[in-house]
Amino acid sequence: MSWSQDDRDKAIWTWLRERQTCSSCGTRPDEWDPKRGGDRRAYVAQVEICRGCQAVQARNAGLTEDQRHGGAHVVLRPREVAHAGS
């Protein structure tokens, strides 16, 4: 099966857009550049609290050195799944 020209064009544009997107913050340079239609104040940095990240960080803090060096890592599982194995 071959791709239509339209599908190939979309794939190329998607690939280019992904390459231009910062892997850390998720924005692209043109979003910040007024010369390219952007705005230097396009985004506002805000602090958000993720309850899942809080739980993982708290549990990670309780791991022993042996556990950490042994490859132990903390994962989040739904309560009903975690308790089913108990």
User: 73 phi and psi, to 5 degrees?
Assistant: -145, 155
Per-residue pLDDT of the chain (86 residues; tens, 9 = 90+): 799 999 999 999 999 999 999 999 999 999 999 999 999 999 999 999 999 999 999 999 999 999 989 999 999 999 888 877 66
Please give the pLDDT value at position 38: 96
Q: Report the distance separating Cα 78 and Cα 3, nearest Å.
A: 41
Please give the pLDDT value at position 86: 60
- How deeply is 74 buried, as exposed, middle or buried, from its count of CB atoms within 10 A (0-12, 13-18, 19+)? middle
pTM for the full model?
0.54
Taking only Cα atoms into account, the Rg of the chain, rounded to an integer number of angstroms, comes to: 22
H helical segments located in 1-86? 5-20, 29-32, 51-61, 65-69, 79-84
Please give the pLDDT value at position 85: 64
Please give the pLDDT value at position 84: 79
Q: Are 39 and 30 in contact, with CB atoms under 8 Å apart?
A: no
Please give the pLDDT value at position 80: 87
Please give the pLDDT value at position 44: 97
